[in-house]
Structure 1
Amino acid sequence: MGIVWLVGRRLIFDSTPVAEAEDYGDCKTHGRSHSDCWTELQKRGTVPRDAEYDQYPRGRVVYNRRTRQFRLMLDGCIIRNTRLVSRIMGKLSLPKNTNVLADSHYRCARCMGKKPTGKEEEEDWDF
């Protein structure tokens, strides 16, 4: 279970083993929100201090206990790049039958049509 961002060309993760994940309906999920984790990453200098957590492409993986399947929900900027999806699946040790889908909840500033700020203007998300 976990959350992920694409910041520039770097994938940034925060994850939890399935056995330690929180219950959320029929699913097991990473207990931390993107917002809370982002604040910690900013304090450590891992991500830009002047950027909001939802400016960058991001996603989340959950495990559905009923269907026994993982679901990887991603921003469109990530899901269009199969190499990135493969890297995320590898890092999170997800099986090949993981359900990978775009999710409107995980939309970055670019996907929402907002003008990027700061370093974002210099970054190229098309690998």
Structure 2
Amino acid sequence: MSMTTPSTETAIPEPNPASDETPMPSVGIFWGVPDGGRTVLVSDHTILPEAEAYGDCLTHPRGHHNVWEAWRKLGATTLRRRGLPPAIAGHEYEAFPRGRVVYMREPALFTLYADRRLQRPDTIIELVRRFGLADERHVVRSDAHYRTLV
């Protein structure tokens, strides 16, 4: 699975290089996008110390729509060159299963809200690894907001 992360708030996310390093705990958004007969995980995330406060939670400052539209504007060729699935260019952000990782300050818990189609053990393991949550308390939950209707 592939995953992306931005360098600044206005930057278009670039793919992460392969690394054995454990990433810092992060919050963010993600999708499962079809690419060549498989589902590729793509995301945009923020390390916890840079996350935004939202009530009792810390969350990612960018939304699904804004990030997706920035990627779509790149076009299929540039997306592929950057390691992103070209299917992004021809679809709305709601077309593929998606989710969000938030941090709840009380009770010090990361929550992965994910479309049920992304709640497969291998996908959750990848999300936990990529968002740096392996050593953190976390749960996986469904939410009507992250449900693909197609």
TM (norm. structure 2) is 0.69
Q: Distance in 1 between matches of 2:32 and 2:107?
A: 28
Q: Does residue 63 of structure 2 align to residue 24 of structure 1? A: no
Partner of residue 41, structure 1: 71
Q: Does residue 35 of structure 2 align to residue 5 of structure 1? A: no
Q: Distance in 2 between matches of 1:84 and 1:48?
A: 19
Q: Distance in 2 between matches of 1:104 and 1:24?
A: 19
The runs of 5 or more residues in structure 2 that have no matched partner are 1-26, 80-86
Matching residue within 76, 83, 94 for 2:122: 83
Partner of residue 16, structure 2: none
Amino acid of the structure 2 residue aligned with 1:5: W
Amino acid of the structure 2 residue aligned with 1:12: V
Q: Which runs of 4+ in 1 moved over 4 A?
A: none
Shift of 1:109: 3.0
Percent identical among aligned pairs is 37
Q: Distance in 1 between matches of 2:64 and 2:93?
A: 7
Shift of 1:18: 0.5
Shift of 1:44: 2.5
Aligned residues: 109
Task: Please give the secondary structure, in 1, of the residue aligned with 2:122.
Answer: helix
